[in-house]
């Protein structure tokens, strides 16, 4: 049984995920650049506010706000899109990312500052660069006047630190190997002793029948399977390559229909999200809905 992940609309998180078995899945500029494209797309689509990011060779870090309450949808889309891209480019079989993403719930601005600094110093701890700004695959150079490239909410981070001098001074302090976290049965918490109780109350509100928020509507989102997993298992079960599927044939149409059922029921994808995948790009929302209904009845 999967462990409950505490989150709620407006919650701050430090998110990390790594390549399966520690594999280097972001080696080279091409792979890192493509991941950032997917990151920008997923954050805009799911309305997740990014404050900082860092992409290393075998893992990535994000500090963000679950503004929409759809953190799991965001991670499923991001990891799923990149996972399929990686397999298409690098070949091979099996999972690209290691299980579920790791998420640390962050209490307030002071802890948020610590998380951002920890993330931006990651390349220094790894011995790759001597200064955070020398690493081009993090957001270290995206803050303060003239440097906001749109993928992160630089204005918010700027306000957290107050001025550029304070930011730079904090960024160049001695690097800490760890950030202070508390391990609970609900996951890692970065905050005061009383924060867990407050967070649980906010999380519980999502489950009330009278709550009409996005969080309530997507209460079971953490139980949906990753897009990458569904895609790979479908290809293995049907002995096919989905990207090479000829949907002009009866067999191709049937397999595409079956895939739509898996994506919706196991992955929790909406028709619009399914339609953004290449194999469904020629279908309208109405056609997708009809196809899903037809093939879900025939299972």
CATH number at residue 216: 3.30.70.1290
CA atoms of 110 and 182, how far apart (whole Å): 16
Residue after which a domain boundary falls, among 222, 237, 263: 222
At 230-242, the pLDDT tens digits run 888 888 888 998 9
CA atoms of 84 and 99, how far apart (whole Å): 15
Same domain, 29 and 109: yes
CA atoms of 48 and 59, how far apart (whole Å): 20
Same domain, 81 and 164: yes
Instruction: Give the three-state DSSP class for 233.
Output: helix
Same domain, 270 and 144: no
Q: Which helix (H) or strand (E) holds 189?
A: strand 187-190
Range of the domain at 283: 227-297
Same domain, 233 and 208: no
CA atoms of 6 and 107, how far apart (whole Å): 12
Domain-located, residue 209: yes
At 7-17, the pLDDT tens digits run 888 899 999 99
Could you say which DSSP state residue 212 is in?
-
pLDDT of res. 207: 52
**Residue among 48, 104, 40 nearest 74 (CA):** 48
Same domain, 191 and 58: yes
Q: Which helix (H) or strand (E) holds 183?
A: strand 182-184
pTM: predicted TM-score of the whole model, two decimal places: 0.75
At 172-203, the pLDDT tens digits run 887 666 667 777 777 788 887 778 777 777 77
Q: What is the mean pLDDT of the chain?
A: 84
Same domain, 99 and 155: yes
Q: Residue 193 — φ and ψ, nearest 5°?
A: -65, -30
At 203-214, the pLDDT tens digits run 765 554 444 443
Residue after which a domain boundary falls, among 183, 202, 222: 222
**Which comes out higher in pLDDT, residue 297 or 138?**
138
Same domain, 117 and 210: yes
pLDDT of res. 122: 93
CA atoms of 138 and 201, how far apart (whole Å): 34
Is the pLDDT reported for residue 66 higher than 60?
yes
Domain-located, residue 3: no
Residue after which a domain boundary falls, among 156, 191, 222: 222
Same domain, 24 and 65: yes
Is the pLDDT reported for residue 257 higher than 70?
yes
Is the pLDDT reported for residue 226 higher than 80?
no
pLDDT of res. 2: 55
**Which comes out higher in pLDDT, residue 83 or 211?**
83
- CA-only gyration radius of the chain, Å: 20
E strand intervals along 7-111 = 11-18, 49-55, 59-66, 102-106
Is the pLDDT reported for residue 256 higher than 60?
yes
CA atoms of 91 and 72, how far apart (whole Å): 27
Q: Which region among 36-45, 145-154, 239-248 has the lowest average model confidence (pLDDT)?
A: 145-154
Q: How many separate domains does the chain show?
A: 2
């Amino acid at each position: 049984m999967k462990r409950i992940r505490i989150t709620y609309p407006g919650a701050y998180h430090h998110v990390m995920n790594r390549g399966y078995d520690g594999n280097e899945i972001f080696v080279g500029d091409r792979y890192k650049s493509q991941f950032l494209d997917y990151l920008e797309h997923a954050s805009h689509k799911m309305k997740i506010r990014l404050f900082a990011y860092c992409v290393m060779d075998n893992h990535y870090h994000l500090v963000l706000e679950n503004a929409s309450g759809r953190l799991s949808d965001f991670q499923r889309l991001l990891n799923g899109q990149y996972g399929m891209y990686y397999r298409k480019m690098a070949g091979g079989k099996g999972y690209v990312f290691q299980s579920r993403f790791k998420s640390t719930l962050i209490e307030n601005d002071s802890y948020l500052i610590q998380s951002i600094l920890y993330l931006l110093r990651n390349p220094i701890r790894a011995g790759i660069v001597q200064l955070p700004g020398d690493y081009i695959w993090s957001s270290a150079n995206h803050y303060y006047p003239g440097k906001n490239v749109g993928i992160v909410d630089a204005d918010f981070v700027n306000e957290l630190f107050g001025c550029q001098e304070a930011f730079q001074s904090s960024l160049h302090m001695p690097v800490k190997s760890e950030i202070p976290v508390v391990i609970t049965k609900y996951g890692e918490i970065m905050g005061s002793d009383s924060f867990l109780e407050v967070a649980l109350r906010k999380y519980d509100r999502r489950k009330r029948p009278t709550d009409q928020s996005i969080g309530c509507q997507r209460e079971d989102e953490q139980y949906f399977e990753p897009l990458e997993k569904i895609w790979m298992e479908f290809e293995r079960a049907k002995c096919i390559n989905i990207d090479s599927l000829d949907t002009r044939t009866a067999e191709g149409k049937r397999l595409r229909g079956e895939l739509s059922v898996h994506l919706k029921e196991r992955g929790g994808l909406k028709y619009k999200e399914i339609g953004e995948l290449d194999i469904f790009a020629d279908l309208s929302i109405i056609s997708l809905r009809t196809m899903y209904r037809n093939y879900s009845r025939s299972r």
